[in-house]
Structure 1
Amino acid sequence: MDAYSYPPTHPPPTQPEMSHIRQSNNFPEMYPTEHTDNDNSDAYSGVVATNPYNNDNARFSTSTSSLDSNDRLYPFPDTPSASTNALNTQPPGSKPGDDSDEQLADLNTDGKQPRSFFRNRRKACCFICCGVVVIIAAILIPLAIYVIAPAIAQGAVTGSKLQFSSAKLSNLTEDSFVMTVSGKVTDTGPMAATIDVPDGVVVTWEGMTLGRLPLDRISAAPFAGANIESSQVFAVTNKTAFEQFNKFMLTQQDFTWHLEGSANVKAAGLSLSGIQLSKDVTMKGMDNFPSVTIKSFNAPSDHPSGGIAIVIDSNLVNVSPVGVELGDLFFDVLYLNQTIGEVSATNITLVTGDNPLKLSGRLIPQNTTAGLAAVSDMFSKYIAGDNATTTVVAKLVKPSDGGDPISWLQNAFQGTRMDVVLEGGKNLTIISGVTLNTMDLVFAADSAYSPTASSSSLGASFSIPFGFPLKMKQISQNITIFGGGKALADLNTPYAAAQGDSTSGQLTSSIAPVPLVVVPGSEGAFNDFSQHLTTDSSVAMLMKGTASSIAGTSIGDVEIKGIKLSVQSSLTGLQGLQTKPVVINSLSVTGGTTDHMIIQLSVTMFSPSNVKITMGDISFDLFFQGKLIGQVLMNNFTLDRGVNTRQTITNFAPQGADAIAAGRTLLDNFILGKTNTVAIQGSTKSTSIASLQQALATLKLSAELPGLQTDKPIIVKARFAISLGTLFSQKGTASIDAFNPLDTAMKFLHIKASITFKGTVIGTMDQDLTGDPVVIPAKQVVTTQDFVLNLNIGPAAIDSLFKSIAGDLVTDITSEITVAIGDYQTTLDYAQNNVPTGLGK
């Protein structure tokens, strides 16, 4: 059988059939009609190639070249598969398509087969793929090593992010410092890598080079980056620029460093050098330390160098992650643009967050008005509980070991200003008590509710929340007086001299005359206050307000204003002026009007109060035997502390029969030298000052009115004359030598008398003298004209007649005399015993 014969079930197709097949399947013609010597036509001439491997991947070609046959392959899916094949020389059991070298050799040793470099499709594909791989590897490996890998590494370094979470500057010198940083590198990519920067990085800020900073090796994990914990010496290469940077960092909210360097990267077994590191690192600045608080402020003593020593416990919050080992700090303290003190702190390392600072120093002596005013205002705010904003200005920073200041740090630090709030003292009680040793009140009708108040002596207990010594020089008050829980009056006093010091805690001063202004609407309460002051032994009052003082200190005379004051005090009351009796020292009848007789009294009263009250003209009602018989007037009256002896005028003017009778008794007793108890009582009409009317109406005094004491009786001597006709007419004449004990002239207008001898009336007279009154000058003796004497002739009369002749007659005279004192007329019931009586004129 021919080697290329077809199986019986498939006879070889004829030429037209093959052509039909090719044409129907749109394949190129498989059987060429022309041959050349070079196309190996003998190998395939007239042959239709079957699928020698019994598969559906048969290839049919019309090319005369084996090379063309491998390049021009077309699928022929419709070619039927033969069950056996002349070329299928596979051993039994082998699978179709399992070609062996022997089979291929047999195939190519047939004299009719073409010779080719490739014997089959698989070997050709294998060689082609290997060639392509070799070519690609030859190109890509150098490309990857020398181009792609560095680019990837540079991109990874460039795309990574560098952050510093904290930084600390320590061991500071002029040219370097140790910089300890913590941070992280992120976005380094999916590969583990180590990054070295052998020469460190150049650090710049705002285009200015600051210095060079070595970096520790960075070992980055895939996708995780790396944490940085490094401590290296930062070499300062530009002190001027670094000084400007530090000043910027101290005062601004944030800053950005630029880091530039050349890195070596190891990743995926490759070592790459010359990778450029260029990173910006932004950190928060210190923002001028916006939160500085004073926890405590004390001024314990005078300072050895002058001024007042101060100690301040404060806290400074550093909002920046940058810490600095500063050393010793020195500051000036300014207030109201005046330098008032200097403080320092030692061995300070600035850290992130809270920085407790213990500052000590002094308030310096002030010799200008503005400086003293600034210190005064600061102390005033502290004492009053108000905040005062001071300014702390950095002056010097130097190493704690006593070395010279580091220029770039000193120049940056110097002039840094921080506003620091000195909180006012809390719950301070500076004045714990006020004692009004004296109080003077001057009332007037037109200022009833704004009397003038003053004090010649007041005392106060005080303490200050500091230990330094001070001496009080002047003091003033702006206070409201409360009584019964209600505001009564305001008292605003100017500065007055004061004495006292902080060691004793006591001061004395005075109050210059100022209005005590009753709070509108509190008039009734003030009336009650005045009444209690008059009747009670003590009157409590609350004094609330502020005081101000000028105190001498080692920094100068400091004025402290707004010292809060809320103390209980009291005034000693008048107790109704009854602690000691009222004494009428003397009585003098000095005249009269048609309405009243004028009597001058010298009265002594005792006031137990420490209040002196001037109340203008006042009057009291005068009572005797319960009957109103007149008024006691006190003009421009001032009731002083202690004993008061005042001249008063009593208008004697009883009205009504009962009052006239009582008044007549009083006068008779007075003329006779008898002491009488009288009552002096106030009323709402006692004063025209409204604020005192209620108070004076409560006064009820009792006094002993002494009788008239004279060295002569009113009737010095009596005379009567008789004749022979008297025995028959029983009428004679009589006259008297009358003495006027008063201090004003007195007129007898009518006299009615009875003369007795040994109890027997020997004569009477009833003489109207209105037309020819007997005028007796003050303290003089006058012999009256003859009065008609009605004799009662009897043994007694005859006996008296003989006695008178002998010159030793004394009689008793009982009389009712109507007198005029000035223009006031009244009747006296006067009786006198043992009156020397003579016969004749």
Structure 2
Amino acid sequence: MSSRASSLNLYDKELPYDPDEIEYLDVATTYSEEKDDGESVFKEYCDSRRPIPIRFYQHRRFWIFCMVLTVVFLAIFVPLFIVYILPIIAQEMMNSANMQVIQMNMTQPTETNMHVSVHASVLGIPKIFSATLEFQEQVVVSWNNRLIGSMNLAPVQVKNGNGDFWQETTFYISDTAAFGDFVKTLSKATVKAFGLSIKDLKIDKMLPMNGLSNFANVQLQSFDLPRDAPEGAHIYIRAEIPNPSPIGMTLGTITFDLSYKTAYLGQVTAKGVTLIGGQPMMLVCEGVLLKQTDPVHLQELSELISNYLGDVPSMAFAQGVSVFPDGVNQVSWITNAITSTKMTVPIKAVQKLEVIKDIEIKDMDLSITAANPWMPTVTSTAVGASFRIPFNISINITDLSNTVLRMAYQGREFALITTATWNRTMSDMANNKIVFTIPPTEVTIQEAGRDAFQKFLTSVTQQDASTLEVIGAARGVADTSLGTVVLHVPLKTSVQLQGINFSAAKPTVSDIKVTNGTTEGVTIMANIAMVNPSIFSVSLGRVNLMVSCTIDGQTEVLGMATIPSMIIRPGQNTLAGVIDYHPANTQFGNKFLSTYVAGGMINATIFGYDQSSDIASIAPTLASLRLTTMLPGMTPPARILTGGNGAPTLGAILGSRRIPFTVTAVNPLDTTIWLNTMTVDVFWRDTVFGSVRNARIPFALLPHVEARSPEFIVPCPTGFQFALFLVTQFLPLNPQVIAGGTVAVDIRASLETTLGGASGIGYPAALNYQQKAVPAFLKLDVSFVGLTKRSYETDHPESEIDNHTLYDMVTSKIGYEPSIHDTSAYIRWLQRSLTVLYPEEAKVHIAD
């Protein structure tokens, strides 16, 4: 300090602060030698020596004061906290805490007490506290400000804000009339905390608990009338009752009175009943339903049973009558509770019942007209069904009426039938079989169901099977052990029906007749036979269908077939149809007619189109119709050309080779055929005997009448080979023709005709026709002039000679003509004549 003071004295200056109150920084200061200003040096020095301030809490006297104050505060506050504040805090915790009864099961009940198992919880105490609740007095239970009972509870440990406990104790009943509900608890408890006891804390809590609500929401598990009883019928009921309350109780044997509306039905008893808190209670009740005689009560009983059969819930009532917890003795407060209980019991089948099922429709007739396309007439002689009443009691149905049948397809209703009547004769009630009859009834197809009706018709006609949905009900009067009841019996089932399936029907076409012809076309009548495997009869009125055929791989439409009245019944059906034959391809049409006349089988398809019917409701069904069949030709095949007649001379055959000929023909059709032009090839054992080309021989063939044609010329083949064929093959096998006889020939002909009238009137058609074994009459004239003349003129082309001389010259070479009755000699003579007529060819033939 002396050095510091001496330095300051050098400047003879006064310090700006008290040196006794300040601790200076001990910092060596270097002054600049360059500064010669004393004031500046002093200022710089003072700045370098600025002191650090001392805070108030750094003084020793402050801490001494605090310690004294703390001792005084604790001496006063701790007693106050323990005596006054802590009980207030504890009571406040009790006030804010929640209490919850989780389950309370009551067993061994008596008039004054019972054994109780309590599962409860104390919630809402701050987690920083751990405590033991000691109940100094009994827990008192009250309801509506009425004391109903009390019980002792053991201490409850509370940790982490929760005190969960399960205790068994005895509950003492104070007011038996009010007992049954835990609403309010009132008690005093001691809370032990911080090592001290705080007494006389009050717990006053409302405990919210779900009640039984008069056993509401009963769920029926089973309802049965298993057998008759002397007073009516035994009844068995199994029901589940939810128990949202935490209260459980042993109820033992309970008896209930059953009623529906104003009708008293009888009593049922449940045994061994135990109510468990928070769990559903199962009641199994048995008893007797009483026979009803009062008309009003019978009507109500009928309604109850009908609703059950129809899956409609009916609200019956069960009123408590008595309860015996141990099965023998009553407890008044339990009896009062049960007898004041009236349960609502919904009587409803657990599973949907099928009282009437397995419907069988024996037949159903649908008649539809263009005038009323959406109002078909429906008829059935038998709609059968099996029925099953789900009660094993005596039931004798004495009447069925007011039958309602709703028809639906694919879930959409389309018709309602209300005219079905019970057929007593056909029904078999002993075997649960009933039969209804539907008289002819006009049924309106609902507008919303028209599409479903059309789809149903299409399904019936185009598929092997179809499903019809039948929904309805019938009113039945039945004598039962409970009385005569009127039942409304529902029915709902699906009926599998055999379909017609036209596409697989394979109809048979027969009796084809060509009956008329015009320049536009030909009318063909035919019968179409087909089997309907279904139960449906369908009257569809006039139906138009198209007909196409396939011949030699070529398919063409022939025309339209009309069925004036299409009625299809179950089993075999024959429909008369008219075909308007008018093919666009005339060559194909000629092929069809030729095949038909020749007896050939023709693949045909009969199909519908958008104009198949004038009835709007069935037009789409017929448009999808398609039948395949075979059209048969004439059986036996037609023999149009029945014979021929030619009487040529031998010279004509071997010489000019021009045979005058006529034919006889029969018209196999039911309309006139005009034969205009004929092209014919005649064969004998595959050798051409003669041919004619485009011979005009117009003549008419009336239906099924034989006629002879005008004479026409058939040229014979030329050459030695044909002559050789005649004398070496034909005549040896057919010697009768020498004197005149019949020989069977084969014919291949093309006939240009008009059907139904002459050219310009009938329908032009070309028939390509082949026929075997056509009998032809031939007679060879004995005159040999033609032969000799040809031979002579060949050798002497410029000579002129009369026939007599020529005959003499020829016969001188081969001999005289033998008798035609000696056929063998005559044939040998003709064979020798070839050497005269064909000398060069004969030499070659003989050489061969």
TM-score (norm 2): 0.49
Structure with higher Rg: it is 1
